[in-house]
Amino acid sequence: MDSQINIAIIDDHTLFRTGVASLLREFDELHVEFEAENGLQMQQMLLTHRQPDIILMDINMPLMDGFESTRWLKINYPPINVLALSMYEDDDAVIKMIKNGACGYVLKQTKPKELLEALKIVYQKGVFLNELVSGKLIRSISAENSEPKFSDREIEFLKLCCSELTYKEIADKMCVSPRTVDNYREALFQKLNLKARSGLVLYAIKKKIFKIE
């Protein structure tokens, strides 16, 4: 990896937050840009610091929690990837974070090397689907009253989203410009009321558009 991954940590528990920051600083691949104790403080930090590549986001925080913070980021800073880092593993919390735009979800008891690997995957691919996330969402993404209609190219794009290809690589494979791929993605987000690639992947699996080998 040529450059460091720029990280921010949002968590209201000071000891945990600073501990994670110290741990991440031990990895040469990572740089911790800033820490914040809730979404409101995060908003202020974003005005005065370099934009992080990935934000590690807790859920239960005062003033502005992880759900609201993630939704706000996807509207105001869409390039920033959010990786949820929480002690909650119930279906509702995982599903809500993914639907609000998180690209993955890891538990606070995750081992340091596993967290590093998750951050690398998010940085490279924009999505991290572990068993925790995929199992819960495949069970829980429900069909809408009326099924959305997709073009052949949108279906092709949806299938390629389930691969390890980046959006640029998907554009090359489809022989279209990155801007066209962006249009496919945004159209699908709107049709499916989703905000992240992880949601597209799990929708494709749920609807058997993509089959896991």
pLDDT given at position 139: 55
Whether 152 and 128 share a structural domain: no
Q: Would the pLDDT of 140 be above 70?
A: no
Q: What is the mean pLDDT of the chain?
A: 84
> Is the CB of residue 61 less than 8 Å from the CB of residue 35?
no
Separation between Cα atoms, residue 118 and residue 127, nearest integer Å: 9
Q: Please report where in the chains the tokens 């940590």 appear, as a residue.
A: 9
6-20, 100-114, 124-138, 157-171: least confident range? 124-138
CA 71 to chain centroid: 11
Tell me the per-residue pLDDT of 168-203, one tens digit each, with 9 for 90 and over: 899 999 999 988 898 888 888 888 888 778 888 878
pLDDT given at position 11: 93
Whether 53 and 67 share a structural domain: yes
pLDDT given at position 144: 46
In the predicted model, what is the mean pLDDT of residues 20-28? 91
> What are the tokens at 177?
């410009």
pLDDT given at position 192: 83
Whether 96 and 164 share a structural domain: no
Q: Where are the alpha helices (DSSP H) in 50-166?
A: 66-76, 91-99, 112-125, 131-140, 152-161
pLDDT band at 3 (very low <50, low <70, confident <90, very high): confident
Whether 124 and 157 share a structural domain: no
Tell me the per-residue pLDDT of 125-134, one tens digit each, with 9 for 90 and over: 888 877 656 5
Whether 40 and 115 share a structural domain: yes
> Is the CB of residue 57 less than 8 Å from the CB of residue 41?
no
- Residue 213 within a domain: no
CATH code of 41's domain: 3.40.50.2300
Tell me the per-residue pLDDT of 36-92, one tens digit each, with 9 for 90 and over: 999 999 999 999 999 999 999 998 888 889 999 999 998 899 889 999 988 887 777
Whether 134 and 168 share a structural domain: no
End-of-domain residue from the set 81, 114, 139: 139
- Collect all residues with Cβ–Cβ distance below 8 Å to 189 and sequence separation of at least 6: 195, 200
CATH code of 150's domain: 1.10.10.10
Whether 124 and 162 share a structural domain: no
pLDDT given at position 136: 56
Q: Would the pLDDT of 141 be above 60?
A: no
pLDDT given at position 212: 61
Instruction: Kindly state the percentage of the chain with pLDDT values over 90.
Output: 34
End-of-domain residue from the set 121, 139, 157: 139
Structural domain of residue 30, as residue ranges? 5-139
Structurally, how many domains does the chain consist of? Answer: 2
pLDDT band at 145 (very low <50, low <70, confident <90, very high): very low
Whether 114 and 12 share a structural domain: yes
- Residue 178 within a domain: yes
Whether 123 and 191 share a structural domain: no
Whether 19 and 116 share a structural domain: yes
Whether 118 and 154 share a structural domain: no
